[in-house]
Structure 1
Amino acid sequence: MDGAAVDAYLRRIGAERPGAADAEALRRLHVQHLRTVPFENLSIHLGEEIVLTEQALLDKLVRDRRGGFCYELNGAFAMLLTALGYEAELLSGRVYGEDGRLGIPYDHAAVRVRTAEGPLLADVGFGRHSHFPLRLDTDAEQADPGGVFRVVTTGEGDLDVLRDGAPQYRLETRPRALADFEAGCWWQRTSPKSHFTQSLVCSRLTDDGGRITLSGRTLVTTAPDGDRTEREIPEAELLTAYRTHFGMPLTQAPLAPTPPTRG
């Protein structure tokens, strides 16, 4: 990323160029990213390719003002951090399902950032998660507006990330390249077993610490205290909803996935 691309990215998330690549600046960048760049899987339901290259990610997130899922969001964020002078590297993770089983290899991508204050976990691509980076050098509880988190080392040397006592995903500690996630990304956008092919979601953190989510045609507003309101959006108003609540100038609405046939 050259200087112009960095400046454009920072304008996209409403952040100033930090004076130093330290933990405090990372906290500001992290929360601003969550507030401005949605976690969304619309490309899958718009028939768009998902390309994991630097230029493709910058075009989608910055030029087109879209969001994405973990490979795109954390892939782009790692590039931005590196360009700002951070030592940032991608880590591969496997997400815990509702049945407690781990997902496929390269199921998730997160970012380890090495700072003078210690190694930190940055994750702007997991939907509901911590608002700020998590410390990786302690297994103590870490209070965050998004919950109480712990990062625990497993017997195999991996890292389990827990929120409010429940395991969220398991990270390997070996650094990975963005291209390493291409097979996982392909599976997520094509497999009928993938959560992303079965659902349609667009979600971001709100400025007050709540969350706004458009799931199919249901707009869910969650207050910081957890209070939720839901409203069905008429099909004719979907494009306006995406533009108003997520700043995304779509020209067509994504097609909601068809429920699997039982029998």
Structure 2
Amino acid sequence: MNSAQVDAYLHRIGAARPQEPTSRALRELHLHHLRTVPFENLSVHLGEEIALEEERLLEKVIGRERGGFCYELNGAFGALLAALGYEVELLAARVYDDEGRPGIPYDHLALRVRTVEGETWLADVGFGAHSHYPLRYAERREQADPGGVFRVAEAGPDAAGVRGGPAGAGDLDVIRNGRPQYRLEARPRVLGDFVTGAWWHRTSPMSHFTQSLVCSRVTEDGGRITLSGRVLKTTAGDGERETRELETDEEVLTVYRERFGIELDRVPAVRVAPTG
């Protein structure tokens, strides 16, 4: 990632270039990213290719001013952080479902980031509703965040009350408001390791990404705005919620453009995933 791409990325998220790769700067970059680059799966339903290659990810986020899902968002954000001098490692995770069962291998991509002060953080701008700031990787007590109360716990066969399999050495469970979100492996990976997981989520009828449309970001007041198909949901920073059904294609395209910065020439529709 060259200097011009770094400048363009920082302009995209409305952040200044940090003088040093500090923890404070990481927190600011993380929040700016969540506010400006949406978590979205529109490519799945627009029939667009999803390529886990750094240049392709940067072209999508910077050049096309789009968002993406975890592999794309954390892949691109990790490249930015590395270019700014942070030590970045890609980590694989398996996301827990509503019944506490872990998903497929390489289900999710998160980032372990070390700063110039020697602090280690878990950064994740690709999970949808999650922490607004990075979490302290080595901290085992609760961590308060605008997105909830989080805990990074040592994983075990029944860690946090979930029915997961045996944990690998150093594996962690990331818990939000008392509920496990995902099991995180400690072993560093490379972007290419996640290709199969991304393919599964893009094509499998069992993937929630093929079953629904989502476009979501954190708002400036600490709330969240989400467009699910034609349903627009906004949650203010004080918790007040509003839900509105959009009637026309023009309304949908206007929301994508004005609220998420995404310019589309047609309204995406859920594509039926192949079953065989």
TM-score under structure 1 normalisation?
0.96
Identity %: 65
The letter for the 2-side match of 1:100 is G
Q: 1:255, 1:165 → 2: CA distance?
A: 34
Aligned-CA RMSD value: 1.5
Q: Which residue of 2 aligns with 1:209?
A: 222
Q: 1:134-173, aligned counterparts within 5 Å? A: 134-155=135-156, 156=167, 157-173=170-186
Q: 2:8, 2:190 → 1: CA distance?
A: 24
Match of 1:243 among 237, 257, 266: 257
The letter for the 2-side match of 1:138 is E
Q: Deviations over 1:202-229 (max 9, x none)?
A: 0000000000000010000011232210
Q: How many residues align?
A: 261
**1:129 Cα shift?**
0.3
Q: 1:138, 1:239 → 2: CA distance?
A: 43
Higher deviation after alignment, 153-162 or 190-199: 153-162
**1:257 Cα shift?**
4.5
Q: Deviations over 1:146-169 (max 9, x none)?
A: 000000011332010000110000
Q: Which residue of 2 aligns with 1:194?
A: 207
The letter for the 2-side match of 1:126 is F
**1:117 Cα shift?**
4.5
Q: 1:59, 1:249 → 2: CA distance?
A: 15
Q: Deviations over 1:107-139 (max 9, x none)?
A: 000000012252100000000000000001111
**1:64 Cα shift?**
0.3
Q: Which residue of 1 aligns with 2:57?
A: 57
Instruction: Please tell me whether residue 253 in structure 1 is matched to residue 267 in structure 2.
Output: yes
Match of 1:220 among 215, 233, 241: 233
**1:47 Cα shift?**
0.5
Contact 1:217 1:232 in 2 (8 A): yes
Contact 2:93 2:105 in 1 (8 A): yes
The letter for the 2-side match of 1:177 is V
Q: 1:36, 1:201 → 2: CA distance?
A: 15
Contact 1:39 1:67 in 2 (8 A): yes
The letter for the 2-side match of 1:3 is S
3-state SS of paired residue (1:192)? coil
**1:255 Cα shift?**
1.1
Q: 2:248, 2:57 → 1: CA distance?
A: 29
Q: Which residue of 2 aligns with 1:10?
A: 10
Contact 1:23 1:117 in 2 (8 A): no
Q: 1:121, 1:205 → 2: CA distance?
A: 18
Contact 2:210 2:270 in 1 (8 A): no
Contact 2:52 2:192 in 1 (8 A): yes
Q: 1:161, 1:175 → 2: CA distance?
A: 17
Contact 2:204 2:273 in 1 (8 A): no
Q: Which residue of 2 aligns with 1:123?
A: 124
Higher deviation after alignment, 182-191 or 236-245: 236-245
Q: 2:198, 2:182 → 1: CA distance?
A: 17
The letter for the 1-side match of 2:97 is G
